[in-house]
Amino acid sequence: MHAPRRRTKIVATLGPATSSPERIEALIDAGLDVARLNFSHGSADDHRARVRLVREIADRLGRHVAIMGDLQGPKIRIARFADGQIELQVGDPFTLSIQHPVDAGTRQIVGIEYPPLVQDCTPGDELLLDDGRVILKVDSVDEFAVHTTVTVGGPLSNNKGINRRGGGISAPSLTDKDRQDIRLIAELDLDYVAVSFPRSGTDMEQARRLVREAGSHAWIIAKIERAEAVADDAAMDDLIRASDGVMVARGDLGVEIGDARLVGIQKRIIQHARTLNKVVITATQMMESMIASPIPTRAEVSDVANAVLDYTDAVMLSAESASGQYPVEAVQAMARICLGAEQEPTSVKSHHRLGETFTRCDETIALASMYAANHFPGIKAIISLTESGHTPLIMSRIRSGVPIYCYTRHEATQRRAAMFRGVYTVPFDAATLPPAEVSEAAIDILRQQGLLQSGDWIILTKGDFYSNSGGTNGLKILRVA
């Protein structure tokens, strides 16, 4: 039989280092499942070219690769320095001004690109610049400026981000640029949209409305990166419920809540997302050293493996694949670490939602299937005939070593399922076959690929009507002839 397939999916960001057809093909060969376009960088034409290449190459290789557009959001930044960079010392006074010219910053003062910052700050606040590399304490605030003292010094260059310790910056989560990028996402028929800095489910509902109005059916991912989003379980669940999935965006989140709490919160987000039947991506600095090194550090190996053992759907590369020197090696290393961590027996035991009631018929079938698969040793595969991909998504929330095959006729569903942990896509149109032949035809595909043999058992789920999303109402246990 085949060697075990990697169940955790890999998201990699495309950028200057990964824009050529050769590099994109090498990434897909190395195990790329989801290509991320970061709308904080690059032009619309850059993104168009990358989408075209990913779709053409994946098609030629017979692979289903999802594409995610990541909105920039209201990243609050300082403006620019006259000399490009300054050096701040502990104890220096430093002013953030809404009146100062945007390209004339000095060691004493710099412009800010977000005027409401003066309303959001009060004396005693801590402002973290450049992901916390420079820290300022707010001494006083007037109508046009925030006056601070440097408590952690260092170099500071143009356009670096500003966070406030503990969160509370009031910027709306969708900017004019985001609205423009949502139109591009619709034009390019992307599979996922990641929303930056949402504070609540209301922000996500607004994003969903804009995405649908633009004519896109992309699934909506909430990037959890504000302190308010993890203030308590109710706030976190509100954001998760309003989304199709979440990203543990550890860069800004770590800055706002402090690095000591980050790992515990990461584990809680993953667990809550899975319980609420949502996709979850773990992101930021997973392989940071591989920007300039061909091998990861032991700490990075441990970080990726821990996310896998927590049952994240996907692990993500940012600068490592977008602008690093070893983008393909980073994907290969990530694939290797995921496979290694998945060999641990903890990854097939589940206490998921025992003692809870279910709310939908397809959810009940999905979870019953997983219970059967994990308790009947002969079962080698689960085949889910699906329109939207919702049934295999729910199945994959349960810890299991049994592969889940998403059989669907829809290209959008085929690509979307590339993000789901332990789910593999099989193009299949049940409506073209006589009902009595559907099960046999479905089993045949896996048997021809050497994934099933005579005597194996499989679970097959389907709806009475193949055109209804959410209509899964049947479960069969079948023996391979």
223 is annotated as an active-site residue: yes
Extended beta strands in 27-153, E state: 34-38, 66-70, 85-88, 93-97, 109-111, 126-129, 134-141, 145-152
Encoding tokens for residue 43? 């032009």
Distance from C-alpha of 157 to C-alpha of 108, rounded to nearest angstrom: 13
- Cα separation, 128 vs 156, whole angstroms: 11
Rounded distance, CA 238 to CA 204, Å?
A: 10
**From CA 108, how far away is CA 96, in angstroms rounded?**
9
Return the structure tokens found at 145. 């400026």
d(CA 358, CA 472): 14
Q: Which of 223, 301, 324 is nearest to 14 (CA)?
A: 324
Q: Is 9 a catalytic residue?
A: no
Calpha distance 92→89 (Å, rounded) = 6
Kindly give, in sequence order, each residue whose CB lies less than 8 Å from that of residue 55, ignoring residues fewer than 6 positions away: 65, 67
Are 324 and 330 within 8 A, CB to CB? yes
> Contact at 8 Å (CB) between 6 and 334?
no
- Beta partners for 110? 96
Q: Say what angle helices 44-61 and 21-30 make with each other, to 10 degrees.
A: 50
The answer to whether 278 is a known catalytic residue is no
Whether 158 and 102 have beta carbons less than 8 Å apart is answered as: no
C-alpha 111 chain-centroid distance? 33
Which residue in the list 23, 63, 77, 183 is annotated as catalytic? Answer: 77
Element (H, E) at 10: strand 9-14
Beta-carbon contacts of residue 360 (< 8 Å; ≥ 6 apart): 470
The residue from 8, 95, 282, 284 that is catalytic is: 284
State residue 212 phi and psi, 5-degree precision: -70, -40
Is position 160 annotated as part of the catalytic site? no
Q: Which of 223, 226, 415, 421 is catalytic?
A: 223
Residue type, 117: L
CA end-to-end span of the chain, whole Å? 17
Q: What distances in angstroms separate CA 416 from CA 24, 72, 190, 421, one per listed residue? A: 19, 22, 9, 11
* DSSP letter for each residue of 363-421: HHHHHHHHHHHHH-TTEEEEEEE-SSSHHHHHHTTS--SS-EEEEES-HHHHHHGGGST
Q: CA 405 to CA 320: how far, in whole Å?
A: 30
Residues taking part in catalysis: 36, 77, 223, 284
